[in-house]
Structure 1
Amino acid sequence: MKILFVEDEPVLLEEMESYFSSLNFICEQASTFCQAEQKLRDFIYDIVVLDVSLPDGTGINLIEDIKRCSLETGILILSARNSLQDKLSGLNLGADDYLTKPFFLEELSARVNALYRRKTLKGIEHITFDDFKVDPQSKMLFFKSDEISLTRKEYDMLIYFVVNKNRVVGKSSIIEHLWGDHFDQNDNFDTVYVHIMNLRKKLSKAAGKDYIKTVYGMGYKFTY
């Protein structure tokens, strides 16, 4: 899952990124309205955790930008003020949830996961295709009753393909979703190719079917 934290308190921002990174989220951060606006123009996120009070604007005004970029992005508002007006304004503009500071990171994590299941996975407890079953809670893949061992990146890639089934997705889109800004350190797309090749082999070995089709010059398509 790719998540953007928009927060002007440096300590809280680092705590959130450190905690969610330890849970294998792809995390990015912005500490100002302008930084957040630029990030939202350049990237698509699964979840945006959005502080209401920013030094150069209000997080409420970013909600329309987020919805314009992607209707599937979940929005959770943070505020130090237990203000009914903030809550109503945010929810009326399209925010999905609201959390008042101070809060426990475990509560934020639970809300983020619930929001992700509602928005991206449409609230389903398990994802199934043919004889495969994916458990988003345990992040495990099964073929019939047998577990298929996946690396974290292979699992994330499978979820991305399943959510975008029958659509052609390019390498750049896969990179943006799975690595975010941090992939700029890599020189080429070889890492993506290796993960796709390994995932394809594991699915094919279990089911005897190739689910990931190469669309030459464009990218990949997941079909079943």
Structure 2
Amino acid sequence: MKVLFVEDEPVLMQEMLQYFGTQGHLCESATTYFRAVDKVTSFDYDLIVLDLRLPDGSGLHLIPHIKKKTYNTGLIILTANNTLNDKLEGFKHGADDYLTKPFYVEELNARINAVYNRKTLNNQHTKTFGGFALDTQMKTLSFNGEQVTLTKKEYQLLLYFLLNADRVMSKSSIAEHIWGDHFDESDNFDAIYVHLTNLRKKLARHSGIDHIVTVYGLGYKFFSE
């Protein structure tokens, strides 16, 4: 999961980045309103954790920028005030959940997973295609019940393709989602090719079908059937 944390408290930001990094998520950060605007308008995220009180603006004003980019991005707001008005304003603007400070990162993790499962995975923890089953909770892949070993990057690539099946995905969008917003194009484009080649071989070895095809000059396309 690619997550953007918008928070101006250094200690809390560091705690979230460290914890969620160990959970296997790709974490990005913004400590100001205007930095967050730049992030959400330039890049895509699966989920955004947004503090309402930022030093240079209100987090509520950031929500329209998020919704304009994509309606699929999950949004959890953080507020220091446990007031009904803050909660109602957040939900009115399009937030999926809220959490009052102070909080435990474990609770935030549970809420992040719940929003992601509901909005992105449609509460389906298993994604199936052509005899394959990808378990998004266990992060495992099987073919007709037989385990298929994937590396971490191969799993991330496959899930990303499954969530964007039958769409042409550019190399840039793949690299940003898997390696982060500040990827080095030359290095990561080579890495994309290596990981994709290995993933395609593993899928074809079991099913005899190449589910990922190159669309020359544009990127790659995943066929679920």
TM-score range relative to shorter protein: over 0.9
Who is 2:73 aligned against? 73
What amino acid is aligned across from residue 142 of structure 2 in structure 1? F
Aligned length: 224
In structure 2, C-alpha distance between the alignment counterparts of 1:190 and 1:139, rounded to whole Å: 25
Q: How far is 1:182 from its partner? A: 4.1
In structure 2, C-alpha distance between the alignment counterparts of 1:150 and 1:18, rounded to whole Å: 24
What amino acid is aligned across from residue 181 of structure 1 in structure 2? D
Q: Is the 8 A contact 2:43 2:181 kept in 1?
A: no
RMSD of aligned residue pairs (Cα, Å): 1.1
Q: Secondary structure at the match of 2:4?
A: strand
Aligned pairs (5 A) from 1:143-222: 143-184=143-184, 187=187, 189-222=189-222
Who is 2:38 aligned against? 38
- Cα 1:18–1:186 change in 2 (3 A) is farther
Q: How far is 1:110 from its partner? A: 1.0
In structure 1, C-alpha distance between the alignment counterparts of 2:18 and 2:129, rounded to whole Å: 34
Q: Percent identity, aligned pairs only? A: 55
What amino acid is aligned across from residue 14 of structure 2 in structure 1? E
In structure 2, C-alpha distance between the alignment counterparts of 1:188 and 1:75, rounded to whole Å: 28
* Structure 1 unmatched ranges of 5 or more: none
Runs of 4+ in 1 over 4 A off after TM superposition: none
Who is 1:124 aligned against? 124
For the pair 1:115 / 2:119, whether they are aligned, the reply is no
Q: Is the 8 A contact 2:176 2:182 kept in 1?
A: no
What amino acid is aligned across from residue 91 of structure 1 in structure 2? F
In structure 2, C-alpha distance between the alignment counterparts of 1:182 and 1:152, rounded to whole Å: 20
The normalised TM-score by structure 1 is 0.97
Q: Secondary structure at the match of 1:27?
A: strand
What amino acid is aligned across from residue 36 of structure 2 in structure 1? A
Q: Is the 8 A contact 2:175 2:188 kept in 1?
A: no
Q: Secondary structure at the match of 1:72?
A: coil
The normalised TM-score by structure 2 is 0.97
Q: How far is 1:184 from its partner? A: 2.6
In structure 1, C-alpha distance between the alignment counterparts of 2:181 and 2:175, rounded to whole Å: 9
Who is 2:24 aligned against? 24
In structure 1, C-alpha distance between the alignment counterparts of 2:176 and 2:30, rounded to whole Å: 17
Cα deviation digits, residues 189-208 of structure 1 (max 9, x gap): 11010011011011111111
* Structure 2 unmatched ranges of 5 or more: none
What amino acid is aligned across from residue 80 of structure 1 in structure 2? A
Q: Is the 8 A contact 2:4 2:27 kept in 1?
A: yes
What amino acid is aligned across from residue 3 of structure 2 in structure 1? I
What amino acid is aligned across from residue 218 of structure 1 in structure 2? L
